[in-house]
């Protein structure tokens, strides 16, 4: 039996989520899309910066995920900000619903990508960061950048 290689092509990334939240767990979910939306995503026209995820009636939906209209799509184009359904297993949805019921947890989309020709979304179970946590992360990043710069200068 031949081994199949999984190919992944990143469409959109949500760097802001890592700045604003502690990501505890990540899940992979399929995204239910229409034809012109998939064509638009193949061209990289997708944004998840301001998007969020809700669980309603045992189904998972992503709000605010902007997929630009396909140029050659004319009447078949859908609303760029329409609510999109995420496809997950029932036991994963039930587990996430239980976690969200706890205080301080939310679901955020981390990235959208193609995996073997299908659009997938990586979603994270996240806790909000306080302002002092964000400052600590920025200080760590600055310190790391400074040490790398000094290391580079010494090795020249």
pLDDT, tens digit, for every residue of 58-112? 888 988 888 877 777 666 666 777 888 888 899 988 888 888 887 778 888 888 8
Of 51, 50, 46, 30, which is closest to residue 93 (Cα–Cα)? 30
CA 156 to each of CA 122, 127, 145, 149: distance values in angstroms, whole numbers, following the listed order = 40, 42, 17, 11
Domains of the chain: 9-129 (2.40.280.10)
């Amino acid at each position: 039996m031949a081994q199949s290689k999984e190919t992944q092509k990143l469409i959109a990334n949500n760097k802001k989520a890592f700045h604003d939240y502690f990501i505890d767990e990540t899940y992979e979910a399929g995204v239910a899309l229409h034809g012109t939306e998939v064509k638009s995503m193949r061209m990289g026209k997708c944004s998840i910066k301001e998007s969020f995820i809700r669980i309603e009636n045992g189904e998972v939906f992503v709000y605010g995920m902007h997929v630009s209209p396909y140029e050659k799509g004319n009447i078949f184009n859908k609303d760029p900000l329409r609510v999109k359904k995420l496809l997950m297993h029932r036991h994963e949805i039930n587990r996430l619903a239980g976690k969200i019921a706890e205080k301080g947890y939310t679901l955020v989309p981390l990235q959208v990508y193609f995996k073997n020709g299908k659009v997938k979304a990586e979603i994270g179970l996240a806790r909000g960061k306080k302002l002092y946590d964000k400052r600590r992360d920025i200080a760590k990043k600055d310190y790391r950048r400074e040490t790398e710069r000094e290391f580079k200068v010494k090795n020249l």
